[in-house]
C-alpha cells in the first residue's frame, strides 16, 4: 500500500478513536474499505498497464454548482466522469452511482468532508473505467459503446439529503437530493434527453441511491425509451447482530434524521415507521436487477458482527477471511443468507425484477472487471454477472439466479483482508 495511503489510514484511525462506538463501528470500516478498494482497483489496473484499451476519464465538476446549491459536504463542487458513447451505443446511457457508506452524526460527517467521500478536493482524477463502465468489448460485451457516467458520491446520504436539515454553524452541507437533480439536468442537456436505452446502476450506498431514485430516473427520460435500474450490494438487511442489538437499524435511523432523507422516499414508504429496503423495492415501478453476494462482507462486518457485538474477538479471523470461519460461524452466516433469500422471495413472481445472488464473500461486484466479466468472474449456471444482467435488460430471458450455500461455488472471488 502506498505511503500516502498508509499515512491517511493512520490519521483516520486516530480521529475515529474520538467517536462513539456506533460511529466507529460503521464509519471506520467504511472509510478504511473505501481506501482499500481504491488500492485494490489501482493494483488491478497496474496489472493491465500494458492494455492500450484502458482509458482514464477526467472529472467534470458540475456547472453552476454554487448557484444551484448543489454542494458536497464541505461546499465543494460535486461532479462526474463522462465517456461519450459511439456507434450503436451513441444514444444509450449507463450511469453508475459511486458508493461509500454514510455519515450519521455531525462528528462523522465533519470528518467525511476531509475525504474523497465528502469533498471533490480529495477525489482522484482522472479515473479508469472498468467492469460495467469498461469500453472493451471482451470485458463489457453489451454496454461497451454506451455513453457511460460515473457519478461521484460526496453527500454521505445516498444522494438523498436535504438542506433544511443542515445544522447551523456546522459547516456541513446536506445537498444529496439537489446534487442528484442538478447532475441529471446537466446530463439531460448533453444528450441523455434523447436516450433510447438507459441503465441506472450503483454500488453499496450508490446501490441504495439507485433504488431511491430509480422511478425518478425513469420519469426524466423519453416514454418510449427502455429504462431499468441495477442495485449492486445495495439491498441492506434489517437484521439484529449476534448480540441481539439492532446496530444498523439505529445507524440508518440517525442518517435519515440527520439529513432529512425521508423527503426523498416514496410516500408509501413514509407510511411505515421505519422504511426498509424491502419496502423501497416494493414500491419501485421501474424494472430492477439485484446483484448481491449472500455473504456480503460489509453487511457481515456492520450488521451481523459489528465490533461491539464481539467483545472477545472470537469472530476476528472469520470477519477477515470466510475460509477461517468455524462450523458454528458458517451456520450463523447461512442463517443470515436465509434472511436475504426470504426478503427477496416475494419478488420472485415479478418478471421485471432480476437477480444474481452468489455465495461469495465480497461486497460490490459490477465495478471491477475481474468480477463483472472475465475468465475469473463468479458464475451461476455458467453465466457471469455481465451476461446475466444483459439477458435481463434486453429481455432475452427471465433471470432469477440464486447460488447454493458457501463454499459450493469455486468461481467466487472471496476477499481476504488478512492480506491488506
- Overall average pLDDT of the 4-16 stretch: 40
Return the ∠ at Cα 325 (arms to 237 and 22), rounded to 5°: 45
Q: Identify the pLDDT of residue 272.
A: 53
Burial zone of 229 (CB within 10 Å; 0-12 exposed, 13-18 middle, 19+ buried): buried
- CA dist 362 and 372 (Å) reads 13
Answer whether residue 38 shows pLDDT above 90. Answer: no
Q: What are phi and psi of 362, to 5 degrees?
A: -155, 180
Q: Where are the domains of the chain?
A: 3-419
Answer whether residue 43 shows pLDDT above 50. Answer: no
Report, in this order, helix, strand and coil percent for the chain, each rounded to 5. 40, 15, 45
The H or E element containing residue 226 is: strand 226-232
Q: Where are the alpha helices (DSSP H) in 190-243?
A: 205-220
Q: Identify the pLDDT of residue 113.
A: 96
What is the rounded end-to-end Cα distance, in angstroms, of the chain?
8
26 — pLDDT class (breaks 50, 70, 90): low
Return the ∠ at Cα 91 (arms to 86 and 94), rounded to 5°: 85
Chain mean pLDDT for the chain: 88
Q: Are 248 and 304 in contact (CB under 8 A)?
A: no
CA 263, 266, 271, 272 dihedral sign is negative
**Which residues are catalytic, by number?**
204, 296, 363
Answer whether residue 184 shows pLDDT above 90. Answer: yes
Cis preceding linkage at 407, omega within 30: yes
Q: Identify the pLDDT of residue 5.
A: 36
Condensed to tens digits (0 to 9), the pLDDT of residues 222-259 reads 999 999 999 999 999 889 999 999 988 899 999 999 99
- CA dist 204 and 60 (Å) reads 23
Q: What are phi and psi of 83, to 5 degrees?
A: -120, 120
Q: Are 235 and 344 in contact (CB under 8 A)?
A: yes
Q: Identify the pLDDT of residue 14.
A: 39
Reading the block at residue 155, the C-alpha cell is 453527500
Q: Identify the pLDDT of residue 2.
A: 36
Q: Are 210 and 230 in contact (CB under 8 A)?
A: yes
Answer whether residue 42 shows pLDDT above 80. Answer: no
Q: Identify the pLDDT of residue 47.
A: 44
271 — pLDDT class (breaks 50, 70, 90): low
Reading the block at residue 43, the C-alpha cell is 493494483
SS3 172: coil
Q: Are 353 and 287 in contact (CB under 8 A)?
A: yes
The H or E element containing residue 127 is: strand 127-128
Answer whether residue 8 shows pLDDT above 80. Answer: no
7 — pLDDT class (breaks 50, 70, 90): very low
Indicate the Cα dihedral angle 232, 236, 241, 245, nearest 10°.
Answer: 150
CA 37, 38, 41, 46 dihedral sign is negative
267 vs 68 pLDDT, higher one = 68
342 — pLDDT class (breaks 50, 70, 90): very high
- CA dist 335 and 342 (Å) reads 10
The H or E element containing residue 202 is: strand 197-203
Top mean pLDDT of 27-31, 68-72, 248-252 is at 68-72
Q: Identify the pLDDT of residue 331.
A: 98
Q: If you write DSSP's letter for every residue of 59-103 in order, what string do you get?
A: EEEPTTHHHHT---TTS---EEEEE---GGGTTEEEEEE------
Condensed to tens digits (0 to 9), the pLDDT of residues 272-311 reads 545 445 567 888 999 999 999 999 999 999 999 998 899 9
The number of residues in the chain equals: 420
Of the candidates 190, 134, 127, 192, which has an alpha carbon nearest to the alpha carbon of residue 153?
127
Answer whether residue 91 shows pLDDT above 70. Answer: yes
Top mean pLDDT of 31-35, 140-144, 243-247 is at 140-144
Of the candidates 173, 157, 149, 156, which has an alpha carbon nearest to the alpha carbon of residue 77?
173
Q: Return the minimum-mean-pLDDT range out of 51-55, 231-235, 398-402.
A: 51-55
**DSSP symbol at 19:** S
53 — pLDDT class (breaks 50, 70, 90): low
- Overall average pLDDT of the 157-167 stretch: 96
Q: How far is CA 152 from CA 79, 106, 118, 120, 291, in A?
A: 6, 21, 10, 8, 20
Amino acid at each position: 500500500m502506498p505511503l500516502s495511503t498508509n499515512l491517511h489510514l493512520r490519521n483516520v484511525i486516530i480521529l475515529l478513536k474520538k467517536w462513539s462506538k456506533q460511529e466507529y463501528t460503521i464509519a471506520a470500516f467504511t472509510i478504511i474499505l473505501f481506501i482499500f478498494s481504491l488500492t485494490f482497483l489501482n493494483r488491478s489496473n497496474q496489472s493491465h498497464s500494458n492494455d492500450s484499451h484502458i482509458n482514464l476519464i477526467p472529472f467534470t465538476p458540475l456547472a453552476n454548482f454554487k448557484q444551484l446549491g448543489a454542494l458536497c459536504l464541505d461546499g465543494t463542487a460535486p461532479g462526474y466522469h463522462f465517456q461519450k458513447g459511439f456507434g450503436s451505443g451513441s444514444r444509450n446511457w449507463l450511469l453508475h452511482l459511486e458508493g461509500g457508506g454514510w455519515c450519521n452524526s455531525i462528528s462523522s460527517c465533519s470528518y467525511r468532508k476531509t475525504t474523497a467521500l465528502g469533498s471533490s478536493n480529495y477525489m482522484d482524477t482522472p479515473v479508469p473505467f472498468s467492469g460495467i463502465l469498461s469500453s472493451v468489448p471482451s470485458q463489457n460485451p453489451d454496454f461497451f459503446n454506451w455513453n457511460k457516467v460515473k457519478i461521484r458520491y460526496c453527500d454521505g446520504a445516498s444522494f438523498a439529503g436535504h438542506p433544511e436539515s443542515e445544522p447551523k454553524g456546522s459547516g456541513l452541507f446536506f445537498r444529496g437530493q439537489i446534487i442528484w437533480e442538478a447532475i441529471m439536468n446537466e446530463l439531460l442537456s448533453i444528450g441523455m434527453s434523447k436516450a433510447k436505452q438507459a441503465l441506472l446502476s450503483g454500488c453499496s450506498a450508490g446501490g441504495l441511491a439507485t433504488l431511491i431514485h430509480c422511478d425518478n430516473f425513469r420519469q426524466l427520460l423519453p416514454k418510449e425509451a427502455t429504462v431499468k435500474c441495477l442495485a449492486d450490494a445495495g439491498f441492506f438487511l434489517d437484521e439484529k447482530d449476534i448480540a441481539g442489538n439492532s446496530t444498523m437499524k439505529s445507524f440508518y435511523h440517525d442518517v435519515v434524521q440527520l439529513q432529512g432523507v425521508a423527503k426523498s422516499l416514496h410516500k408509501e414508504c413514509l407510511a411505515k415507521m421505519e422504511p426498509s429496503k424491502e419496502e423501497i423495492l416494493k414500491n419501485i415501478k421501474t424494472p430492477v436487477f439485484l446483484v448481491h453476494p449472500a455473504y456480503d462482507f460489509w453487511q457481515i462486518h456492520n450488521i451481523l458482527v459489528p465490533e461491539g457485538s464481539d467483545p472477545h474477538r472470537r469472530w476476528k479471523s472469520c470477519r477477515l477471511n470466510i475460509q477461517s470461519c468455524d462450523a458454528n460461524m458458517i451456520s450463523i452466516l447461512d442463517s443470515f443468507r436465509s434472511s436475504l433469500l426470504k426478503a427477496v422471495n416475494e419478488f420472485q413472481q415479478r418478471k421485471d425484477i432480476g437477480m444474481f445472488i452468489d455465495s461469495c464473500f465480497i461486497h460490490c461486484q459490477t465495478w471491477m472487471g475481474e468480477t463483472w466479466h472475465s475468465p475469473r468472474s463468479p458464475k451461476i449456471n455458467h453465466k457471469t454477472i455481465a451476461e446475466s444482467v444483459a439477458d435481463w435488460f434486453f429481455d432475452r430471458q427471465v433471470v432469477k439466479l440464486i447460488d447454493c450455500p458457501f463454499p459450493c461455488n469455486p468461481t467466487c472471488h472471496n476477499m481476504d483482508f488478512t492480506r491488506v
